[in-house]
Amino acid sequence: MTTTLVRAARPLGAEPRDLLLRDGLVAEVAPPRTLTAPDGARTVEAEGLVALPGLVDLHTHLREPGREDAETVETGTRAAALGGFTAVHAMANTAPVADTAGVVEQVWRLGREAGWCDVRPVGAVTVGLEGQRLAELGAMADSAAGVRVFSDDGKCVFDAVLMRRALEYVKAFDGVVAQHAQEPRLTEGAQMNEGAVSGVLGLRGWPAVAEEAVIARDVLLAGHVGSRLHVCHLSTAGSVEIVRWAKARGVDVTAEVTPHHLLLTDELVRGYDPVYKVNPPLRTDDDVRALRAGVADGTIDVVATDHAPHPVEDKDCEWSAAAMGMTGLETALSVVVQALVEPGHLDWAGVARVMSQTPARIGRVASQGGALQVGEAANLVLVDPAARWTVDPAAMATKGRNSPFAGRELPARVVATFWEGHPTVLDGALHSPNTGPRPAEAGSTWTR
Amino acid sequence: MRHLLSTADLSHAEAVRVLDVAEQMAATQQREIKKLPTLRGRTVVNLFFEDSTRTRISFETAAKRLSADVITFSAKGSSVSKGESLKDTALTLQAMGADAVVIRHGSSGAPLRLARSGWTSGAVLNAGDGTHEHPTQALLDAFTLRRHLVGGGDAADRVGADLAGRHVVVVGDVLHSRVARSNVHLLHVLGARTTLVAPPTLLPIGVETWPCEVSYDLDAALAGDVQGPVDAVMALRVQLERMDAAYFPSAREYSRRYGIDAARLGLLPPHASLLHPGPMNRGLEITAEAADGARSRIVEQVTNGVAVRMAALYLLLAGEDA
């Protein structure tokens, strides 16, 4: 195993420290320039860089198996490493759907073989994402993949009885249902946020109420049966209010928001460029403000990418024929800095909370989401907060070229990523996969 | 003008210019030899992804009267029905040297996408996209209105004129109507007032931000109780399928509340005109008596459509400010 001395980085934005990473663990933390590198150790000069616990994405589409033309576990996790992630939760809407122990173990194994980060498969709630009967949730939980997050993402678990049963059933293994909140009848054929812009553009509207009504039902259900609920990609001001209300009542609910919903609005749809077509749709300025405030006050617990790569031909067409989704792994941290850190909604400790610690806790990923303390697994990312860079989708590791931030200048850049002490990224470029012995078995009870 | 995609892109001067050129084109159509040499050697492609015999024939006629070579490409029976993309179709036409592409497409925004994508270097003319816009329809409506509402019947009186101070009521399925959207923008640019009338289910969210008034009461609007006396009423086509999606309870109830009949036309001042973009559902949004009555300009709209489309093609391909 490699040993690395990180010199004078600022852990979670605080005063500089030297960090010694050895045998996959944070071995020593000391005042800056007081530690010396052991023989054969790598030294990383980190003056001016912020050190964060490795980022944990609760919502990633790796597309494998089935749509390897859009993304593979290999390319998706390379993108994750470049974005500062040391764990991603791979959504279940693959082909075949990740609704059996066999498929989730396959994805988990592909992640281990790739070696760029921890791949935590998400299990489907219902067989084939069809919303008819429960998938074998327990089998997926007991598999080598150790699934704890279950979601029909892309589709809503709309049947109230099925949702109730799923919420109850996963309590047996400390699982959580992550709901894609979308009332299906209100969104038939929907193309974009329903509002002033959709009216002018003549595109079928996607009303906020279609999201909010399902969230309202689900928080009440979760409260009734005493289960924990996670709400995927909040996109409206009303959703933030409902979650805030539910938390005040003591419901065990967590909520996420995507980077793109924190920065972009439906005004961008005016050019009919399908790179801005996404589910849930881009909303209005008022929604963006409410979502940012929701993260700032803790109503929204995590930022998750909803990284959704698509092949070029699925976006290089007219709006209504295009696929929904945007890439996000390689831009997430920078967008969070622009949307939340620069305006003062979050400090670096807050970034660590919403992009690493809380998502790890929700996904029950014991070895991730630490605080860079001695004895923890050495999962960390070094960020240059002063850097600015221009987004170029062609230069990304993901196969997807569908970044809505193409051509934008964004702040902050990932300089290095360490997964279990191994540098997956150095000097802002991929270094090498982690294929050595592992202190932490994904899905095991190994704790820091 | 580089393209004609939306009436919202037209300035007052550009809109009036199209109407003025259309007057000149209309004058040539009174002659025995109707064909002009203006676009000889230029190629106009009619790219129709949706069935529309009327609009397609109107554009074909307009281009032929200007001596352009016309290629008509209908989706049915072509490679498009075999799954060829808009992009590949456009690249094929580009390779064949299209100077202008007239596009009708079921997807809102497809013409804009075509114009901005670089898939074709020709001028793009929107002949109706989804539920977005149908700019030449609005221009021919404005042309028809100007002929009846401005001056004493002499073309010279109308040149340079707009529709300032005039009031048009548009009634019907505004939500799904590209004609309504194009008309609201254009009538506003030309200085007219517009009142949209529809059941609330057939009005888009956000319509209050449009430059017009909105009413649910057709009789009140026609009687002048919403925005004053009415100079013209335009009935929009209502598709019966909307009934199945619960936009309104029955055809009978729709006709009763929002249909144009002789009694309702009687609420209008004597000079007021009746327009309809066609094709009509006689007995649903308009009665035969109204459609065929003295106020009806519906057949004239079709004639004017050719002149307006000639003007649009001329300005895009040969206009001095093209």
Could you tell me the residue range of the domain that residue B21 belongs to? 7-133+303-317
Which residue among A194, A196, A203 sits closest to B108, beta carbon to beta carbon? Answer: A203
Paired with A49 in beta bridges are none
Res B79: pLDDT: 55
Which residue among B112, B130, B133 sits closest to A271, beta carbon to beta carbon? Answer: B112
Tens digit of each residue's pLDDT (9 = 90 or more) over A151-184: 999 999 999 999 999 999 999 999 999 999 999 9
| Chain A residue at shortest CA distance from B211 | A200
Closest CA to A300 of A227, A353, A361, A223: A353
Q: Is the domain of B308 the same as that of B263?
A: no
- A44, A6 in Cβ contact below 8 A? yes
Q: Is the domain of A36 the same as that of A58?
A: no
Residues in chain B whose Cβ is within 8 Å of chain A: 8, 85-87, 105-110, 112-113, 116-117, 129-133, 178, 181, 204-207, 209-210
Q: Is the domain of B202 the same as that of B293?
A: yes
Judge: B204–A203 Cβ closer than 8 Å, yes or no: no
Residue A309, domain member (yes or no): yes
Tens digit of each residue's pLDDT (9 = 90 or more) over B186-221: 999 999 999 999 999 999 999 999 999 999 999 999
Domain end point (choices A337, A362, A387): A362
Report how far residue B10's alpha carbon sits from residue A215's, in angstroms, rounded to the nearest whole number.
43
Q: Is the domain of A73 the same as that of A175?
A: yes
Element (H, E) at A109: helix A101-114
> Could you give the strand order of the β-sheet that contains B69-74, starting from the edge strand earlier in sequence?
B69-74, B43-48, B100-105, B123-129
| Chain A residue at shortest CA distance from B84 | A317
Suggest the residue from A198, A201, A284 to mutate for an interface test with chain B (most B CBs closer than 10 A).
A201
Judge: B108–A201 Cβ closer than 8 Å, yes or no: yes
Q: What is the mean pLDDT of residues A364-374?
A: 97
- A176, A229 in Cβ contact below 8 A? yes
Query: Which chain A residues are closer than 8 Å to B130 by Cβ?
Result: 202-203, 320
Omega of the bond leading into B249 within 30 degrees of 0 (cis): no
Report how far residue A140's alpha carbon sits from residue A161's, in angstroms, rounded to the nearest whole number.
21
Tokens standing for residue A371 = 């605080």
Suggest the residue from B80, B89, B103, B107 to mutate for an interface test with chain A (most A CBs closer than 10 A).
B107
Tens digit of each residue's pLDDT (9 = 90 or more) over B28-83: 988 888 899 999 999 999 999 988 889 999 999 999 999 999 998 887 655 555 56
Domain end point (choices A292, A327, A362): A362
Q: Is the domain of B142 the same as that of B118?
A: no
Give B271's contacts (C-beta < 8 A, 6+ positions apart).
B148, B149, B231
Q: Is the domain of A81 the same as that of A149?
A: yes
Res B78: pLDDT: 57
Residue A377, domain member (yes or no): no
- B201, B138 in Cβ contact below 8 A? no
Which residue among A199, A271, A320 sits closest to B204, beta carbon to beta carbon? Answer: A199
What's the whole-number average pLDDT of chain A? 96
Judge: B106–A320 Cβ closer than 8 Å, yes or no: yes
Element (H, E) at A208: helix A208-225
Paired with A51 in beta bridges are A11, A382
Q: Is the domain of B153 the same as that of B237?
A: yes
Residue B2, domain member (yes or no): no
Tens digit of each residue's pLDDT (9 = 90 or more) over A322-344: 999 999 999 999 999 999 999 99
Res B76: pLDDT: 65
Judge: B109–A197 Cβ closer than 8 Å, yes or no: no
Domain count, chain A: 2
Residue B179, domain member (yes or no): yes
pLDDT-based confidence at A446, cuts 50/70/90? very low
Q: Is the domain of A4 the same as that of A147?
A: no
- Indicate which residues of A carry an active-site annotation: 306
How many pairs of residues across A and B have Cβ atoms under 8 Å apart? 78
Report how far residue B240's alpha carbon sits from residue B250's, in angstroms, rounded to the nearest whole number.
9
Q: Is the domain of A331 the same as that of A202?
A: yes
By residue count, chain B amounts to: 322
Tens digit of each residue's pLDDT (9 = 90 or more) over A41-99: 999 999 999 999 999 999 999 999 999 999 999 999 999 999 999 999 999 999 999 99
CA distance B112 to chain A (A): 7
Could you tell me the residue range of the domain that residue A330 belongs to? 54-362
Query: Which chain B residues are closer than 8 Å to A200 by Cβ?
Result: 8, 181, 206, 209-210
CA distance B189 to chain A (A): 16
Q: Is the domain of A206 the same as that of A248?
A: yes
| Chain B residue at shortest CA distance from A199 | B204
Report how far residue A356's alpha carbon sits from residue B29's, in angstroms, rounded to the nearest whole number.
72
| Chain B residue at shortest CA distance from A192 | B108
Query: Which chain B residues are closer than 8 Å to A275 by Cβ?
Result: none
Residue B322, domain member (yes or no): no
Q: Is the domain of A84 the same as that of A170?
A: yes
CA distance A264 to chain B (A): 20
Closest CA to A214 of A156, A300, A172: A156
Query: Which chain B residues are closer than 8 Å to A317 by Cβ?
Result: 85-87, 113
- A214, A156 in Cβ contact below 8 A? yes
Q: Is the domain of A11 the same as that of A90?
A: no
CA distance A271 to chain B (A): 7
Domain count, chain B: 2
CA distance A321 to chain B (A): 8
Judge: A319–B85 Cβ closer than 8 Å, yes or no: no
By residue count, chain A amounts to: 448
Q: What is the mean pLDDT of residues A379-389?
A: 98
Judge: B205–A272 Cβ closer than 8 Å, yes or no: no
| Chain B residue at shortest CA distance from A208 | B205
Domain end point (choices A328, A362, A396): A362
Res B258: pLDDT: 97
Judge: B107–A198 Cβ closer than 8 Å, yes or no: no
Tokens standing for residue A421 = 């002490």
Q: Is the domain of A143 the same as that of A195?
A: yes
Q: Is the domain of A20 the same as that of A75?
A: no
Full-model pTM: 0.94
Q: Is the domain of B163 the same as that of B293?
A: yes
CA distance B194 to chain A (A): 16
Residue A443, domain member (yes or no): no
* Amino acid of residue B281: N
Tokens standing for residue B97 = 């040297």
Quick one: how far is CA B229 from the chain centroid? Answer: 24
Residues in chain A whose Cβ is within 8 Å of chain B: 191, 194-205, 207, 271-273, 313, 316-321
Res A443: pLDDT: 40
Q: What is the mean pLDDT of residues A225-244?
A: 98
Q: Is the domain of B104 the same as that of B192?
A: no
Q: Is the domain of A340 the same as that of A218?
A: yes
CA distance A319 to chain B (A): 7
Look up the CATH number of the domain holding residue B147. Answer: 3.40.50.1370
Report how far residue A415's alpha carbon sits from residue A422's, in angstroms, rounded to the nearest whole number.
14
Question: What is this model's ipTM?
Answer: 0.92
CA distances from A2 to A18, A26, A49, A224, A423 (A): 17, 12, 21, 50, 9
Q: Is the domain of A195 the same as that of A253?
A: yes
Which residue among A191, A199, A318 sits closest to B105, beta carbon to beta carbon? Answer: A318
Query: Which chain A residues are closer than 8 Å to B126 by Cβ?
Result: none
Query: Which chain B residues are closer than 8 Å to A236 by Cβ?
Result: none
Q: Is the domain of B164 the same as that of B67?
A: no
Tens digit of each residue's pLDDT (9 = 90 or more) over B11-23: 999 999 999 999 9
- A93, A396 in Cβ contact below 8 A? no
Query: Which chain B residues are closer than 8 Å to A196 by Cβ?
Result: 205-206, 209
Residue A368, domain member (yes or no): no
Residue A444, domain member (yes or no): no
